[in-house]
Chains A and B, each alone.
Chain A
Amino acid sequence: MTLRRKQPRALVERAHALAHAQMAVRRAWAGGIEDMQQGWTGEFNPDPLIIHDLNGEPLFYEFSVFDGEREVGRVKAAASRLVGSPVVTIERGPRAWDPAKATKLALQAAKKANPRRAAKAKEFVCYSYPKIGVRVEFAGERPSSIIVDVADGSIVQSFGDDEIDGQTAWSFLEARSECGSAGRLCRFEEFDRELEAARKSSKDMFATAFTARELVAVRSRLTPVSAYAVALYSSRVLKYGPRCSPHDCFALYAQQTNVYCAVATGQMILDFYRRPFDQTAIAAAMGTGATGTSFAGQETGYETLSNGCLDAWHDFSADWTEAKAEIDANRPLKSGIPGHARACAGWKRQNFFLLHSTPQRWLKIYDPWPWNADLCAGGAVYWEDWDAVTHTNWCFVRHRTDTH
């Protein structure tokens, strides 16, 4: 059973939480996060819904963002530094439940459960993250309370984070072990330093609202510039090696004929492994024909041209994590789309995204198209939206690990 704490520890003031919420949302907008482009530059309601922890401490301030009269979404900002991050979630759309109705529903449930005792709705409680309930207190000689779920009006019956999943109440703050609290406070301090840096460098960040004309000018000023900035994206590209400060290491070559996409891709990958061959030799080793190169031919080409030092194989269930893992291991790979081969030498992923949405992910593609007899003249390098493209296969090319 969770003990109620009389005094909040590490309280975040409401105005401070609002500033963190504004910074998170407006930077995500300025950084071009796709889901944040419509309406998120609107006005924050400075009067949040306060959600308490099961132990009684303020846990979250839920700020609503309005575009005119329309509620665009809500931001749950930490009310306690012990949460560790100043902004916990950003959710699109209006709240799915109405606080006034939920309170009424909770009082009705309390009266039904305990008809002879006077009941009073005390506060909103995050009783099993992210579930919210209303704490209703009963007066009398032996004061007690119940928690009623805001969505369905049911009374929460079981308590403790060791219970099975479901409608079990547990404290968000108490479940986060004491030994980790120093780290969370330290992390929150980093965000505070970033906030202070932003206050000095981009005052626009904390404006109440923007006009359409201001928005155009303000975007570049809202992007992170300080040393404390939390990156909007994570990414990695192939490097020469793992030590010190190696340079990026991958070169684009154009396919020298209109059917040499796999061949030119092979040339890029073989060059990375210091196995330089011209495209004629690679095409011969891969058995490239009038319409292109077979999968088996590509594998044979990599293996024979490396004298068996490289192993190559296809995976026809290409997924993002596999490509990311190859790049993280500093290995290029072939990315197959219907009828076309390209080399992949990097990944990038969005770090901030809306709750229940998928972060945007990209691959850095070295595309040998457009073809050109001068392999230094054609081709293109670009970031490709992972979810927008049909991926048919990967070809992994790795050093053999056995003796041969």
Chain B
Amino acid sequence: MIDAQAAREAAAGALASLLAERDALFASWPEPVVGAPVKVTRVTGAHSYWLVPLEAANRAIGAARIDSASRVLTIGLICRETRRIEDCPRVVTLLTAEEAAAKARAVLEPGEEALPPRFVHDGPPGREAWLVETRREGRPARWIMVTPGGTTARRAGEEIGREPGVE
């Protein structure tokens, strides 16, 4: 398992390569720099990979996903409109943990208690979301998945992507 610094270095190397080859993906953007890596876990809690922000003008315009062996799984953009860079996400997780917790609180049911949010991939790597697990009478109740698009909830422990033949 690599640490955050190693993940950051791997992302910086991949970014430098893309910029050196003048990859069209970043051609119209101000030159980004790598930011502080965020740990992404499986829904079960195990570490999966690092999400490293690519930042320009104090915004996260892109991201690199770095696996536990320093391999760059993906590198690219998370923002679209070059001319409105101020509208790009402030954080690579799109929402802060506090914002995710607030959104989850809004859908809590009576008697339900929320645990602190965890940043996970819900399904295969790449499908990141904030996971807020709720408890009822001390037992796991629901998983509330929070993204900027909204919140969805399902029974705690129910993993997606395991139903064959469905995407």
Name A's B-contacting residues (CB within 8 A). Answer: 30-33, 37, 219-220, 223, 231-233, 237, 248, 252, 254, 256, 258, 261-262, 289, 291-295, 298, 336-341, 364-365, 367, 369-373, 376-378, 380-385, 388-390
Assembly CA distance A66 to B7 (angstroms): 27
Known contacts A292-B163, A295-B165, A340-B126; A219/B16 CB under 8 A: yes
- Could you mark each residue 67-78 of chain B with 1 if its beta carbon is under 8 Å from any beta carbon of chain A, else 0? 100011111111
- A32 contacts which of B16, B73, B94 (Cβ < 8 Å)? B16
Known contacts A262-B167, A339-B166; A370/B147 CB under 8 A: yes
Cβ of B110 within 8 Å of any chain A Cβ, yes or no, is no
Q: Are A385 and B127 in contact (CB under 8 A)?
A: no
- B76 contacts which of A341, A376, A382 (Cβ < 8 Å)? A382
B5-35 contacts to A, CB under 8 A, are: 13-14, 16-18, 20-21, 23-25
- Could you mark each residue 111-140 of chain B with 1 if its beta carbon is under 8 Å from any beta carbon of chain A, else 0? 000000000000111111100000000000
Cβ of B45 within 8 Å of any chain A Cβ, yes or no, is no
| Of A32, A37, A220, most B-chain CB atoms within 10 Å | A32
Q: Are B20 and A338 in contact (CB under 8 A)?
A: no
Known contacts A37-B13, A294-B166, A371-B149; A383/B21 CB under 8 A: no
Q: Are A30 and B74 in contact (CB under 8 A)?
A: no
B147 proximity list for chain A (CB < 8 A): 258, 370-372, 378
A365 proximity list for chain B (CB < 8 A): 74, 76
Give 22 CB contacts A-B under 8 Å.
A31-B20, A32-B16, A219-B16, A220-B20, A223-B21, A291-B160, A294-B165, A298-B167, A338-B161, A339-B161, A370-B149, A371-B149, A377-B148, A377-B149, A381-B25, A382-B62, A382-B77, A383-B25, A383-B74, A383-B76, A384-B73, A385-B74
- Determine chain B's interface SS by DSSP, over half rule: mixed
Q: How far is the CB of B69 from chain A (nearest CB, A)?
A: 9
B155 proximity list for chain A (CB < 8 A): none
Ranked nearest first, the 3 interchain pairs of A and B with the lowest CB-CB distance are: A339-B161, A382-B76, A32-B17
Q: How far is the CB of B112 from chain A (nearest CB, A)?
A: 20
Q: Are B71 and A373 in contact (CB under 8 A)?
A: no
Known contacts A370-B129, A384-B73; A293/B166 CB under 8 A: yes
Q: Are B148 and A340 in contact (CB under 8 A)?
A: no
Q: Are A383 and B75 in contact (CB under 8 A)?
A: yes
B150 proximity list for chain A (CB < 8 A): 371, 373
Q: Are A338 and B149 in contact (CB under 8 A)?
A: no
- A340 contacts which of B67, B75, B123, B149 (Cβ < 8 Å)? B123
A258 proximity list for chain B (CB < 8 A): 145, 147, 149, 152
Cβ of B80 within 8 Å of any chain A Cβ, yes or no, is yes
Q: How far is the CB of A7 from chain B (nearest CB, A)?
A: 42
B162 proximity list for chain A (CB < 8 A): 339
Q: How far is the CB of B55 from chain A (nearest CB, A)?
A: 15
A261 proximity list for chain B (CB < 8 A): 167
A382 proximity list for chain B (CB < 8 A): 25, 62-63, 74-77
B20 proximity list for chain A (CB < 8 A): 30-32, 219-220, 223
- Could you mark each residue 52-87 of chain B with 1 if its beta carbon is under 8 Å from any beta carbon of chain A, else 0? 000000000011000100011111111010000000
Residue of B whose beta carbon sits closest to that of A231: B21
Assembly CA distance A372 to B126 (angstroms): 15
Residue of B whose beta carbon sits closest to that of A220: B20
- B73 contacts which of A338, A367, A381, A388 (Cβ < 8 Å)? A388
Q: Are A338 and B21 in contact (CB under 8 A)?
A: no
